[in-house]
Amino acid sequence: MNDHDRAEQGGGAPPVRWTEQATSDGARAGTLVTPRGSVPTPLFMPVATAATVKGVDIGRVAGTGAGMVLANAYHLHLRPGEEIVEAAGGVARFMGWNGPMLTDSGGFQVFSLAKQVKVTEEGAFFRSHLDGRAIAFTPEASMRIQERIGADVAMQLDHVIALPADREAVADAMDRSIRWAERCRIAHQRPDQALFGIVQGGLDPDLRAESAARLQEIGFPGYAVGGLSVGEGPEAMVATLRATVPRLPADRPRYLMGVGQPADIIQAIGTGIDMFDCVLPTRCGRNSLVYTFSGPIRLRNARHARDRRPLEADCPCPACRHGRDYLRHLFLAGEMLGPVLASIHNLTFYQRLVARLREAVVAGRFEAVARGMLDSLLAGEERG
């Protein structure tokens, strides 16, 4: 029995819960309630991998409209170490963030550092990408680390593999993820922290259905869809979500891990997803690509050399106080302010995106608004 179900039987509230406000065309709006505050959903979490959103101070992150951020247990374990984060009062206090937080378990590093990882039934065994020392990430170790880091939501350790892959490999990784989920649930003891399970199964709807059902037998206060955006393409991703999300409990938050192209977020919300995270806003910002509701803009392009328009006239971010010509100049001159401003703009865009979609759900117009956004993004996409 998990924290959510124990709390319900005892008459108390679980540490993290989701309440519904409205639904529209498969999408839903609600509120994620945590010990460190409530956040309207759908929500987008900026990624603070090592307790920092790259290039953006925490006050500016809050200023973008973000209500919740994500950190990574694997990276914080390597440095500064969970004991230092714990001594500072937990990851939110450590980084100066006044709001809810989630920690990824390190499962994605099983995928991203595959050449340095050996996966067994016991867990994932790494060589540190920093100094080569041996790192053992078992479900029990991941829970101990995440409990000490102290985010409001911890994630189970799962086994992520690249797609496409043969069914036997996908089924094996899914089965292992379920067994690890059981061990995580047993090991997780912190009462003020929620543990979410992660649905795996690649692109196979039967495996996804099996994973969702078995996770619900274990019982979690929230459920994530993992193992996507790992090479399968957007159409396959959406098809997998449409087959998976309806099998998740309607009264629990649903989190799509690591997916962040604006068009993907729009379509995923239409399947009933509530939570997102991705590194794209800052990664693209550092590389001079900025997002707008009229499509992406590549600031290094010569067409912007004399363009005095802001990126978006109605955007409140500091980048939009300048013309495109000036922002382009910053990148060409190698000035660090360029990537910083572009990153802040992108983070702001993502918050405005989910806010508009949330308003559309509440108004009962999600499908029409989403279609208009998708058409505008595609029509305005800047090449080169």
d(CA 54, CA 50): 9
d(CA 322, CA 341): 10
Q: Taking Cα atoms as reference points, which of 207, 208, 268, 206 lies closest to residue 237? A: 268
Of 152, 158, 264, 277, catalytic: 277
Q: What is the pLDDT of residue 1?
A: 47
Q: What is the pLDDT of residue 11?
A: 45
Where b means 16+ CB within 10 Å and e means fewer, 232-267 reads beeeebbebbbbbbebbbeebbbbbbbbbbbebbbb
Q: What tokens were used for 371?
A: 């279609």
Residue 282 near residue 47, CB atoms below 8 Å: yes
Neighbours of 134 (CB within 10 A): 8
Q: What is the pLDDT of residue 155?
A: 98
Structural domain boundaries in the chain: 39-278, 285-379
Residue 140 near residue 79, CB atoms below 8 Å: no
pTM (two decimals): 0.95
Strand order across the 27-34 sheet: 17-24, 27-34, 37-41
Task: Provide the H-helix boundaries in the chain.
Answer: 3-10, 58-63, 73-78, 82-87, 91-95, 107-112, 139-149, 167-187, 205-218, 234-244, 262-270, 280-286, 324-332, 337-362, 366-379
Neighbours of 97 (CB within 10 A): 23
- Specify whether 104 is catalytic: yes
Q: What is the pLDDT of residue 183?
A: 98
Residue whose pair of structure tokens reads 């600031």 in the numeric block: 299
Q: What tokens were used for 380?
A: 């305005």
Q: What is the pLDDT of residue 384?
A: 60
Q: Taking Cα atoms as reference points, which of 235, 314, 239 lies closest to residue 271? A: 239
How high is the mean pLDDT of the chain?
94
- Over residues 297-353, the pLDDT tens digits come to 999 999 999 999 999 999 999 999 999 999 999 999 999 999 999 999 999 999 999
Q: What is the pLDDT of residue 3?
A: 46
Q: Omega into 42 within 30° of 0, i.e. cis?
A: yes
**H or E stretch covering 19:** strand 17-24
Residue 104 near residue 152, CB atoms below 8 Å: no
Phi, psi at residue 166, to the nearest 5°?
-70, 155
- Please give, one letter per residue, the 3-state secondary structure of 295-311: CCEECCCHHHCCCCCCC
User: Residue 125: which region, alpha, beta or left (left: phi > 0; alpha: psi -120 to 50)?
Assistant: beta
Q: Is the dihedral of CA 38, 346, 222, 83 positive or negative?
A: negative
Task: Provide the H-helix boundaries in 188-323.
Answer: 205-218, 234-244, 262-270, 280-286
Residue 107 near residue 157, CB atoms below 8 Å: yes
pLDDT 10s per residue in the chain (384 long)? 444 454 443 446 789 999 999 999 999 999 999 999 999 999 999 999 999 999 999 999 999 999 999 999 999 999 999 999 999 999 999 999 999 999 999 777 766 765 678 899 999 887 777 787 888 899 999 999 999 999 999 999 999 988 889 999 999 999 999 999 999 999 999 999 999 999 999 999 999 999 999 999 999 999 999 999 888 889 999 999 999 999 999 999 999 999 999 999 999 999 999 999 999 999 999 999 999 999 999 999 999 999 999 999 999 999 999 999 999 999 999 999 999 999 999 999 999 999 999 999 999 999 999 999 999 998 887 876
**CATH fourth-level superfamily of 39-278:** Queuine tRNA-ribosyltransferase-like (3.20.20.105)
- Specify whether 192 is catalytic: no
Phi, psi at residue 317, to the nearest 5°?
-75, 160
d(CA 377, CA 2): 42
Residue whose pair of structure tokens reads 């994605």 in the numeric block: 108
Of 104, 152, 158, 274, catalytic: 104
Residue 37's beta-bridge partner residues?
Answer: 34
